[in-house]
Structure 1
Amino acid sequence: MFDIPFPIIEDLSMQVAHAYGMIQPGASDTSAVRATFVIDPEGALRAMVYYPMTNGRSVDEFLRLVQALQTSEKHKVATPEAWVPGADVIVPPPKTVEEARQRKDEGFQYTDWYFSTKKIV
């Protein structure tokens, strides 16, 4: 036996599936879609990913999503599509022209004056 370090719920009554909208319309009245909810330590729902019963899920993508959420929270940045740890992140736009000028000397990469990326360590 293995210990599972996260909560798993049994939902024989389908009360949770109905409450969270996990029943796929037109597919079944009793078969829930496969859903993954990412909930932060404060209990806030940060992401919901739904897959129909006919398609598999990617554990690697869920891990990437959690890492992206943690990186965004820690560094106050955004992560682009397909971002992986070590790749550039998107930084908030500069608030002033002077801040934009300073960023050029601090290793930021620019697409335009308001859109820049950087590496985080």
Structure 2
Amino acid sequence: MIGVTGYNTGTYYREVFGEEWRDFEDIYNHIENEYQTYFSNYPWIITEFASSSYGGDKAKWISDMFLHLDKYENIKIAVWYSCPDMDFRPEYEGKIARPYMLDETPETLEAFKEGLHDYLGT
């Protein structure tokens, strides 16, 4: 089993780190291209993944993720990291920089429920 991790960090730190909104395919196409050479015979687990809501539509990101997940045949398990990342800068102490919570809004939670339902065919 090979563990991979990729996040849509959103755009909160755009001016600090140049972060851009990235969809699931952008993130995992890159990972797949790098890992297929050496680890194509192993099952993969996404040990952590999530999307921020800063800079885009998180509910749509979740829905689109489920539409494209089958494309990555090696991925067998995926674990959503449902916690906020806080701003690391002292002057912004306590401010959420990357809201990765799955239940951040009713829309994000519903997108996940619907996507999982459709993905599993139940």
- TM superposition score normalised by structure 1: 0.25
Query: Which structure's residues are more often helix, by fraction?
Result: 2
Task: Report which structure shows greater RCO (CA 8 Å, sep ≥6).
Answer: 2
Which is higher, the Rg of structure 1 or of structure 2? 1
- TM superposition score normalised by structure 2: 0.25
